[in-house]
Structure 1
Amino acid sequence: MNRIKPFLPFLLTFLVPRGISYYRAIKIAIKTRPPPRPLPAKTSRGLNILFLSICLFFFMSLPSHSPSYQPNIFELTKSRFHIPTDVLFTRLAMVRPLTSSDEALREKITTPIMRQLYLRFGATTLLTCPFCHPTDPNSYLLHHLPTNTLLPHLIHFLLLGLATSTPISGPSTNAFRTKLSLSALTLVILDFYLTTTYSNSIPPSNSPSVPHGIYWTTLTIRPLIICAHDILSSALIYISATNRLPFIFPSTSPTSAHDPEVVKKRQTHLLTQSSVAMQTALTKLRAFGIARSAVVRDAGVNGLKGRDDEYWRAVVGMEGPTRSGADGHGAGNRDVSAGSVWEEEEVMEAVSRVTNGGGLDVEKVRREADIFVESMTQWLEEGVEDG
């Protein structure tokens, strides 16, 4: 009790109030959380990609996943570190037939430094590196890192990026894209740090222990850690997408309405809808203008223009003589202006060039006009059928 007394002020003033407030927050969140919802289809696609990643890296963690896999010959023959090379390979020949790679390796691991590099980087790096030298261990490291350390993480980043992309997995999965990418990047940094700094120490000459290589340990542990990362990521995405733990994952809670990213996505969605609505309205206005132009140009005895003028005269007669005079004057101006425009010499020459095929594809224009008219008069045909 006397040992705890110095820490009592800290416990009573800091930890206890925070613990109580956190307990109350969790209790309220559990009571007010929304009901679970079914898993969205896009989120299911993202989880399927993560499942593929889990299966792939679990297969990579198996010792026999590659035909070129070579086990640690010290463990295979139960030999100590300083055993003579000829004795080591004689024991290896008793376990399995020697190959050309074994013969090449026999010439490599004749010194303690090369055996240390063998335990650190494996046989493939020692045999295939064209620029490495025993006096420069970093040269073996540079040859080892891209294919053995960097490549698995690049594959993991690719699958993780596909699983958390908005077009494939939807916004509920994309909300975790940054967090999961940072956690995967942490694994890369940790892996690089261990690979570049850790090395098997050279044991004493009289040590009877069998050396265990870090290369074979990382060959198994690295894919398993990536598997565990993807399993936790899948659980996180599933729980969040189905609204099961909103007090831990705020992306599904009501407070997400104040999230800047969510607000930005909603604004973008509303802007897209508004743009589509404006384009539709503009198309309808153009159709109305074309229809109005057709009415004005049909100036025959029983043409549409005569019916239109008669309609507006009736409307003006009902509204008052002042409006009638103004509209009549305006209608007259429209007729004169329309007639004068079409009777101008430049306009007539342009119409003549177009009619005679002067650089205009008449068939293409006719097809586009037919498509436009059909799309704009479809509601008229539907109204006639309903009537």
Structure 2
Amino acid sequence: MAIPWGTLKSLLIFFGPILLPKALSYYRSVRAAPRIQGLKVRPLPRRIRLAISLLLLTAGFFLLLTLPPFSPEHIFRLTQSRLQIPADVLFTRLASLRPHNTLTPTDLALRAKFASLESRLVYLHLGPSTVATCPFCTSDDPRSYLYYFLPELLAPHLANLAVVTAATSALLTRDDPRGVAGWRAPAALAAAALALADLYLVAAHDHAANARALRLAEIDSFYWTARAARYAALAALDAGLAALCYLTGTQRAFVRPPAPAERLEAVVRGLGGVKGKINAAGVVKNTVLRDEELRGRCNAYWAHEVRLMREMMEDREVVEGVNDALLNRIDIAGIERDAEAYAKAVLMPSGEGRAATEEVVG
């Protein structure tokens, strides 16, 4: 049963001021979470690009199926006929629209079934293929048509579920195991919920309501409307999942922070790299000091550097600029305090020195 627009407007006016600020606050917190956790926006990894491309291609395919050229024929609309028209007249009109005035096998099967009004109602409810090809269905048992229609109903949902699980599989989310892979379970649940909702709406539809339609405009073409809505909903689900994968893949939003063990491992790895660079610098320094030629070149470089800096500091404009900065712009006392504290932190024992260094750097 449709909800009146007035009721929807009243609900929006009542709940809008309550829900909108909460939604904006949630959006801002989600956007700011990666920055708070120290995560930077990064280029999209290649595998996640493949996952997003798969989802967008599937969404585009579903949207393409909603267009009229890719939808099954609606005989009553095609021939501009009312529901109660005699079958012979209906298919005579249809034959005039076919090449060589020849009916197709599907048309002939429908012509045999359209002798009863119930078959026409089922046609509007479940589509032409179900009515034309079902081998065990009868108009006395309309539910038999629904059972035969179930594979056609569930096929796009199952195909989309396969695409969703493939796009969020470990093969394509290896570059971002904490982000994109986290959408696997919610996306699968959303796809399953969409399939159950679709099944419920089709099964609960009262196809007999069309029996009172006397004109073409009064006919409720449920099958074609539900088919377009089904593929549009699947496309929206895939496009939404692609957007979420993009946000998590680039670390813009919805990113889970690294576990403490992972963060500790990253710190240890970084310290190991720093230690390796320090050791390499020590090796280079020892090599330079032990070699007479390299030691001479090093001493010559520093002698030239000292002479160059002395000549620069003797320039009048430089002297005036330094004096102006020392007198007006720089807190010399604060710099001296920080330098003294840092020097003490370096020369203290390890525990005290580490705490003092952290205090100075902080």
Q: Give me the TM-score of the superposition, normalised by structure 1.
A: 0.55
2:210 touches 2:220 (CA, 8 Å); kept in 1? no
Note the C-alpha offset of 1:27: 9.0
Which residue of 77, 102, 108 maps to 1:75? Answer: 77
- The CA distance in 1 between the partners of 2:72 and 2:35, in whole Å, is 57
Question: What code does the residue aligned with 1:174 have?
Answer: A
1:234 aligns with 2:247: no
**Separation (CA, whole Å) in 1 of partners of 2:31 and 2:165:** 35
SS at match of 1:240: helix
SS of residue matched to 1:243 = coil
Q: Among residues 214, 217, 228, which one is paired with 2:225 in the alignment?
A: 217
Structure 2 distance, partners of 1:236, 1:185, is 18
- Per-residue CA deviation, residues 62-103 of structure 1 (Å, 9 max, x unaligned), is 4444xxx64111111121111222222222233333223212
Does the alignment pair 1:118 with 2:123? yes
Alignment of 1:171-320 (within 5 A): 171=177, 172-200=179-207, 201-204=209-212, 206-207=214-215, 209-244=217-252, 246=253, 249=254, 251-252=255-256, 254=257, 256-257=258-259
Equivalence for 1:42: 47
Match of 1:166 in 2: 170
Amino acid at match of 2:219: P
Q: Report SS of the residue matched to 1:176.
A: helix
How many pairs align? 242
Distance in 2 separating the partners of 1:61 and 1:216: 9
**What is the CA–CA distance in structure 2 between the aligned matches of 1:196 and 1:93, rounded to whole Å?**
33
Secondary structure, aligned partner of 2:210:
coil
Checking the alignment, whether the CA contact within 8 Å between 2:157 and 2:195 is kept in structure 1 is yes
1:162 shift after superposition: 0.8
Is the CA contact (8 Å cut-off) linking 1:126 and 1:140 kept in structure 2? yes
Amino acid at match of 1:141: L
Supply the distance in 1 between the matched residues of 2:23 and 2:225 (Cα, whole angstroms).
Answer: 41
Distance 1:19 1:44, change over 3 A: closer
Q: Which amino acid aligns with 2:157?
A: H
SS for the counterpart of 1:166 is coil
Q: Does 1:55 align with 2:53?
A: no
Give the corresponding residue for 1:93.
95
Extract unaligned runs of 5+ from structure 2: 1-14, 267-362
**Cα separation, partners in 2 of 1:180 and 1:105, compared to 1, 3 Å:** same
Q: How far apart in 2 are the matches of 1:212 and 1:19?
A: 37
Q: Is the 8 A contact 1:63 1:220 kept in 2?
A: no
- Gaps of at least 5 residues in structure 1 are 1-10, 271-387
Structure 1 position 15, deviation (Å) = 8.7
Share of identical aligned residues, percent?
A: 36
Distance 1:132 1:180 in 2: 36
Amino acid at match of 2:228: T
Matched residue, 1:133: 138
Alignment TM-score, normalising by the size of structure 2: 0.58
Identify the residue that residue 308 of structure 1 maps to in structure 2. Answer: none
Counterpart-to-counterpart distance in 2, 1:74 and 1:115: 10
